[in-house]
Amino acid sequence: MSDLVLLLATGLGLGALYFIAASGLSLIYGLMGVLNFAHGAFMTAGAYAAWLTMGALPTAWPVAGRLLVGIAAGVCVGALVGLVVEVVLIRPLYRHHIQQVLVTVGLSLAGVAAAQGIWGADPRAVDKPVWMSGTTDVLGARLPNDRFVYVLVAGLLFAGLLALLHLTRLGLVIRAGVENRTMVEALGINVHRTFTVVFALGGAAAGLAGVLYSQYAGAVSPAQGGSLLIFAFIVVVIGGMGSLTGTAVAAVVVGLVQQLANYYAASGVGDLSVVLLLALVLLLRPTSLKGATA
């Protein structure tokens, strides 16, 4: 019983990280039709920004305080990178999907190379608050405390994005744009401004994911964003491009399947099982779990 509780909790924690990484990706694709392979580079940028910020702050500060400032820095850097990439590289290429893919793939590779060139290829350890390194007994299982943080942050992000989509004018334009962006423009709405905001939002979510994933891994490394991006893409495809709720459901399912398969089958089978799950969903429900609505 305690094993199952532990697996469910860690699976939820992993799913929470996947959701944070995938939410921005889903919004960007849903509204703009851009398959953003540079999303991993945004995560890496956020992670390194947080690591540098935490390192620059006085060591007399509590680690939790430095982490909070680091998260803020990671989110801001992610948003800034997203904004600049949209304005400089993506905007001239709307409706040129192949070129968009090439540009974002190139940016992703360049991001890894740049990080390696500046900070080296080896992982750099990140400070972790003592409480997040500890465990809490729940139903006989000792659950890692950091998983509670990931689930809490993912829940807050989900609620915040839902509120944005359903309670604000920007959200209304995004939901309409996911359905038919040409018609949004034909109603006199500057959809390109919305694209920029959504790309910046996606970058911010990616930056947040990068920081939290570095806490999960205990280190930052140049390729970290890329490995998280693979699972984020799988989550978005299973959940439905542009569907926030679908993304959340898929993230939880993927996290749980991965953890359970790793434990009950063999270590490493979890990744394979996620790919099989993706294939199964594409075969049985090609339109994904939730369809393509925001």
Per CB under 8 A, the list member of 2, 135, 136, 180 interacting with other proteins is: 180
Residue 173, interface with other proteins (CB under 8 A)? yes
> In the complex with other proteins, which residue's Cβ is closer, 172 or 256?
172
**Of 142 and 192, which has the nearer Cβ to other proteins?**
192
Nearer to other proteins, 63 or 294 (CB): 294
H helices within 187-243, ranges in order?
A: 191-217, 224-239
Examine residue 176 and tell whether it contacts other proteins (CB under 8 A): yes
286 binds other proteins (CB under 8 A): no
Work out the angle between the directed axes of helices 145-167 and 169-186 (0-180°, nearest 10).
50
Instruction: Give least dist CB 158 to other proteins, A.
Output: 19
Q: Dihedral, CA atoms, 40, 41, 44, 49, nearest 10 degrees?
A: -140
Question: For residues 147, 149, 150 and 154, what is the CA-based torsion angle, rounded to 10 degrees?
Answer: 140
- When binding is defined by CB under 8 A, the residue of 189, 230, 257, 278 that contacts other proteins is 189
Please state the three-class secondary structure of 106-154 as a single string.
Answer: HHHHHHHHHHHHHHCCCCEECCCCHHHHCEEEECCEEEEHHHHHHHHHH
Cβ nearer to other proteins, comparing 178 with 249: 178
Say whether residue 163 binds other proteins (CB under 8 A): no
Instruction: Please report, as ranges, the residues that interact with other proteins according to CB under 8 A.
Output: 169, 172-173, 175-176, 179-180, 182-191, 293-294
